[in-house]
Amino acid sequence: MKALAVDWLGDRALLLRFADTIDPATNERVHLAARRLRRARVAGIEEIIPAYASLCVHYDPASLRGPGEAARAELAARVSEAIAHDEAGEPGQAADNAAERTVDDFDTAAEIEILVCYGGEFGPDLAAVAAHAGLDESAFIAAHAAAGYRVAMLGFAPGFPYLLGLDPRLHAPRRAQPRTRVPAGSVAIGGAQTGIYPRELPGGWQIIGRTPLALFDATRSTPALIAPGQSVRFRAIDANAFAALSR
């Protein structure tokens, strides 16, 4: 594995850059690296944040041998070594012991199904984006629900997933005038991405539907319903099913 580019994000974080593109293969490498680094439990590391094409690592400078270049190089080497660890270190190893798991030891193996009531009051922008795509609404919904998606990263707000895999025909520009309140559960499209608003938030993406599922609940043992790197599918439900599931 060739050495990764390291940016120092101030004095408490570093950024490993894998590429400068948004593509599933790069993102896959990021999540593999994140899993290995979490498992390696390198002393002093406080956060591991996977994104599209980079991994951000927060650390405690007091855990370094000192303030010099050599001490930082040592940390970068420990991180690189953990990431480069061969496949033998994958699931089933001692560090995967359930007792040692933290909230962020995500289970990404299972595909998760997100139930969505498309259009109507839950998807006020569906007609506009379908027209933009040159599709009727039902064809647009079918295309959105047919694809397999991958969670590239969580960010913007707790539990907000940025999903890769949107059918290029469904790409749609963000709204010229962002909304100050997008309801919780809104499924939306912003450019080449699709995502889900975990709570009421301001937002500029086109809203095509809503899920009754709670994407984020800080009181659950695993607060975020969807983990970085996980596979996601959407399934259309009607308003009655939405109402039943919301109760």
Partner 1 sequence: MNIRVLAPGLLTTVQDGGRPGHAASGVGRAGAMDPVALRIANLLVGNAEDAAALEITLRGPRLRFDDDALVAITGAEIDAVCGEQPLPAWRPVLVRAGSDIAFGGMPRGARACLAIAGGITLPLVLGSRSTDVNAGIGPFPRPLAANDALPCAPAPRNLCGGLWRVLDAPGRKTRRPKIAATSWSVDPENWFDYASERPIRAIAGTHFEMLDVDSRRRLFGADFRIGIDSNRVGCRLEGPALALRTKLELISTGVANGTVQLPPAGTPIVLAAEGPTTGGYPRVAHVIAVDHGHLAQRRPGDVVRFAQTDLEDAQMRYIERERALARLAMYVRERLRHS
Residue 110 vs residues 54, 104, 193, 229, 231: alpha-carbon distances, Å: 23, 16, 21, 10, 7
Both tokens of residue 35? Answer: 């899993």
Pairing of strands 231-236, 112-118: parallel
Q: Which of 97, 102, 177, 240 binds partner 1 (CB under 8 A)?
A: 102
Q: Whose Cβ is closer to partner 1: residue 123's or residue 228's?
A: 228
- Determine, following the binding rule CB under 8 A, whether residue 68 of this chain makes contact with partner 1: yes
Residue from 160, 197, 205, 234 touching partner 1 (CB under 8 A): that is: 160
Smallest separation (angstroms) from partner 1 to the CB of 57:
8
**What kind and span of H or E run contains 214?**
none
Q: Report d(CA 135, CA 150) in Å as an integer.
A: 24
* Residue 12 binding partner 1, by CB under 8 A: yes
192 binds partner 1 (CB under 8 A): no
Angle between helices 126-133 and 137-146 (to 10 degrees): 90
Q: Which is nearer to partner 1, 119 or 229 (CB)?
A: 229
- How many CB atoms within 10 Å of residue 234? 24
The site that binds partner 1 (CB under 8 A) totals a number of residues, namely: 54
**Which CB, 47 or 90, lies closer to partner 1?**
47
Between 162 and 234, CB nearer to partner 1? 162
118 binds partner 1 (CB under 8 A): no
* Cα–Cα distance measured from residue 209 to residue 72, given in angstroms and rounded to the nearest whole number: 47
Scan residues 219-238 and list those touching partner 1 (CB under 8 A).
219, 223-224, 227-228
Contact status: 208 vs partner 1 (CB under 8 A)? no
Place of tokens 């969580």: 154
Hey, which residues does 6 pair with through a beta bridge? 16
Tell me the Ramachandran region of residue 34: left when phi exceeds 0, alpha when psi lies from -120 to 50, beta otherwise: alpha
Binding of partner 1 by 153 (CB under 8 A): yes
The contact set with partner 1 (CB under 8 A) reads 7-13, 15, 17, 20-22, 34, 46-56, 58, 61-62, 64, 66-69, 72, 102-104, 106, 153-160, 162, 199, 216, 218-219, 223-224, 227-228
